[in-house]
Structure 1
Amino acid sequence: MKFAVIGGTGLIGSQVVNNLKAAGHEAVPASPSTGVDIISGTGLDEATAGADVVVNLANSPTFDEASLAFFRTSMDNLLAASQKAGVGHFVILSIVGVDQVPELDYYRAKALQEELLATGPIPYSIVRATQFMEFMDATMSWTADGETVRLPATPIQPIAAKDVAAAVTDVAQGPPLRGIRDIAGPEVFSLDELGRITLAAKGDNRTVVTDPTAGMFGEVKGDVLTDTGADLAPTRYADWLAAS
């Protein structure tokens, strides 16, 4: 089969492309570096031509209100190009609990992306993942101040990017789900606890201060970003830290 992987040069996309090629498929990455602009539509007809499956892993450049316009415009353009090309399966990567946090602009934008896909003209699959292990350093940097890092005690269930890519690859090769598959890491932590574990593993002497208002995840109310009933990935956080 031929796969057009939008965002195919990014963290998840590059691994999905490699996984699909290893499985014997034709996988073509599409991104600004390959001449494809999903906002203007430049290069989309060429990127989707002959594709059996489109895997959309492109992400908004911002997490603010502008992300709503990004996902609306990009999905409108991608669905139109995919329908024109006769694509039979359209896959996106979303977030566990995305429809439970309307306070966050970015989560509302991803929920909008899901809605546009589900009500669109092409058979679809949505893969929802929990928070990536690879994003922990960035999450801490948002609220780092001198010798302290402020983090809320929000429950999260971190998953390794390679496990996300494997799940997306698996779904993309199968028939359209016409629904959602949830994937998650094997362990649940509070975010402040995970910060302490991460700093200790790196020999970083900064102190994690529990602050329920700190950062983007301070807006999250309750335990909505975990799902112990999801398909659980194999990589444990301590093993990922040791390997990285």
Structure 2
Amino acid sequence: MYDWPEARGEIDAQWARLREAIRRKGIEAPEKLVRVNGDLPPVPGGIRGSAGKVIAPDPATLPADELDFQGLWLHPALLFGQTCWGPMELGLASHVQVIGQPSYDAVEGGQGELYSSAIVMPADGGQSVASPADGSASIPLDLIRGKRLAFNNPDSMSGLLGLTRDLDAMGESLDIFASQIQSGGHRSSIVAIAEGRADVAAIDCESWALAKRFEPAARHVKVVGWTRRRKGLPFITARATPPETVAALREAIAGLE
């Protein structure tokens, strides 16, 4: 889920280490990661759920150079992938198995399996706000009220659902914003703010760390608050993956920590 083009060498190296750990458990793991629909095995007639109903199209019928995340997550051959708790809560959980959680210790806003989102707005020369040590929400209502919100996707925990829940806990709602635009990605939300098309966005801490490294637009925004820490993006496998394989995958992940 953090497979930015500039970081793909690092992601490939991470997969290589995990792939070898999985293979040492006697499980056949693919040489390369799936990055586009064309990398996925075809499923004639479409991907079906446990009740036999089609829940996603055959990847072979989709644009080969794009990636349909639902098709990837729901694919019956999925050995190892990563998703968000937003889609999981909205129905994906019944079709997959959770293998484990990554650690967010290396980035500000993260602690162990927990992560939070940086609330960013245009830079005005002031300092960014540090992540609360206790992981509580720190949302500047006075700054964001009446502003234009950019969010990545409606099912994103880090970009919208978590912010919504934190506002609810404060007696507020998304109505605090003058308008909302769907950007399609955290990186695009940052660019929208830098270009003046939006005023505020919630960016998960790992994506914010990547943006500071690779996205020039990040120099034109700053952190004004943080959402509450929540469970980070889980690693998943297909519902049909055998229990012994699931156990081996968990052991492989744990052995790399």
TM-score normalised by length of structure 1 = 0.30
- Flag the structure with more relative contact order, 1 or 2, with Cα contacts below 8 A and sequence separation at least 6: 2
